[in-house]
Amino acid sequence: MSANLISGNEISASVNHETAAEAASIAAEYGIQPALAVILVGEDPASQVYVNRKAKKCVELGIRSEKIVLPADTQESELLAVIARLNADPSIHGILVQSPVPKHIDEQKVVLAIDPTKDVDCFHPMNVGRMMLGDFSGFLPCTPWGVITMLQRSGISPAGKKAVVLGRSNIVGKPMAAMLSANNELGNATVATCHSRTKDLEFYTKNADIIVAAIGIPNFLKGDQVSEGAVIIDVGINRIADSAAKNGCRLVGDVDFESVAPKASYITPVPGGVGPMTIAMLMKNTIRACKAAIARGQTK
């Protein structure tokens, strides 16, 4: 079998197209431009790249972007004050603080400080809880929502399928498992979650119809660990050394594409797979935030 490639570049382009149309129609109808504030604390180069990508995507889609860069030695109280200012600003609809924050700042306090109605990353317990209870009408966690959208738009329904999620992080693995098993048209899979303490991981992967890999180990999942015809979604983004590459490294996923692709029915590439979907869903959450603000009576 040779796998069909699920292109995150193509699917995210169609999602972004819809988002741009929604932003334009909000502007035309209400005179309001959806706006996202992104806060970066410190100078981590990867975080700078992510923040710039998000800001650029906002501009492309007609969303106003406010980028706030704070020095690495910013005190927790100063960051919380910036968040409080943005919470109170009606012209800002979404707020995110780029992770990771410097070690002297308590990330959990930061998550809790963001007004849940502006929590476009869907990290606040109120929004996570709402999603866990099966209400998908509010914010949804960007990466898992991106995966669900890729499946949906590739005509793959999780309903009745055996799905395995590799990884149980709060950002990817846990919400991914919850969305796949949700009692609604996007979910209805029977889901196993594997992690570093899982014994006999192969037992689960070999029996899975759908595997979502999110563990952060380059090329972890091999072809002999998956069944013929499985759908493989690779969330992993790992930088590995490559002397042939211009900058001495390249990106690979958590899936060993070479050995897995010949057995899979569908597979996502890295790069160009889940990555662009995550940003596309962040933009969708920003539109949801803006629409909800308008529904609450916001007029400017």
Among 29, 31, 137, 197, binds ligand NDP (CB under 6 A): 197
Tracing tokens 């329904």 back to the chain, one arrives at 157
Residues 121-160 within binding reach of ligand NDP (CB under 6 A): 143
Residue 44 vs residues 27, 93, 98, 118, 295: alpha-carbon distances, Å: 35, 26, 10, 24, 38
Dihedral pair phi/psi, residue 233, rounded to 5°:
-115, 120
Are the C-beta atoms of 110 and 52 separated by less than 8 Å? no
Residue 211 interacting with ligand NDP (CB under 6 A)? no
Peptide bond into 218 cis (omega under 30): no
Q: What angle do CA 15, 275, 209 make, to 5 degrees?
A: 90
Q: CB of 136 within 8 A of CB of 182?
A: yes
Q: How many residues bind ligand NDP (CB under 6 A)?
A: 26
| CB nearer to ligand NDP: pick between 82 and 274 | 274
Nearest alpha carbon to residue 207 among 187, 230, 176, 223 = 230
Known catalytic membership, residue 54:
yes
Distance CA 281, CA 74 (A): 29
214 part of the interface to ligand NDP, by CB under 6 A: yes
- Residues 228-267 touching ligand NDP, rule: CB under 6 A, are 235-238, 254
- Active-site position among 98, 161, 174, 209: 98
12 contacts ligand NDP (rule: CB under 6 A): no
194 touching ligand NDP, by CB under 6 A: yes
216 in contact with ligand NDP (CB under 6 A):
yes
Q: Please identify the residue of the shown chain whose CB is closest to the bound ligand NDP.
A: 169
Among residues 23, 232, 274, 287, the one that binds ligand NDP under rule CB under 6 A: 274
Q: Which residue has the tokens 């005509």?
A: 155
Query: How many Å is the maximal CA-CA distance in the chain?
Result: 57
Q: Which of 157, 167, 145 is nearest to 187 (CA)?
A: 157
50-53: long-range contacts at Cβ-Cβ below 8 A with a sequence spacing of 24 or more? Answer: 50/98, 51/98, 53/279
- 278 lies in the site for ligand NDP, by CB under 6 A: yes
- Of 163 and 235, which CB lies nearer to ligand NDP in the complex structure? 235
| Residue 275 engages ligand NDP in binding (rule: CB under 6 A) | yes
Considering only 172, 182, 208, 281, the residue that binds ligand NDP (CB under 6 A) is 172
In whole angstroms, the minimum distance from the beta carbon of 159 to ligand NDP comes to 24
Residues facing residue 191 across a β-bridge: 163
Residue 98 a catalytic site member: yes
Shortest approach of ligand NDP to residue 281 CB, angstroms?
9
Q: Does 227 help bind ligand NDP (rule: CB under 6 A)? A: no
Q: How far apart are CA 238 and CA 214, in angstroms?
A: 11
Which amino acid is it at 7? S
Candidate list 57, 118, 119, 121, residue with the active-site label? 121
**Catalytic positions:** 54, 98, 121
Q: Give the footprint of ligand NDP on this chain (CB under 6 A).
A: 143, 166-169, 171-173, 194-198, 201, 214-217, 235-238, 254, 274-275, 278
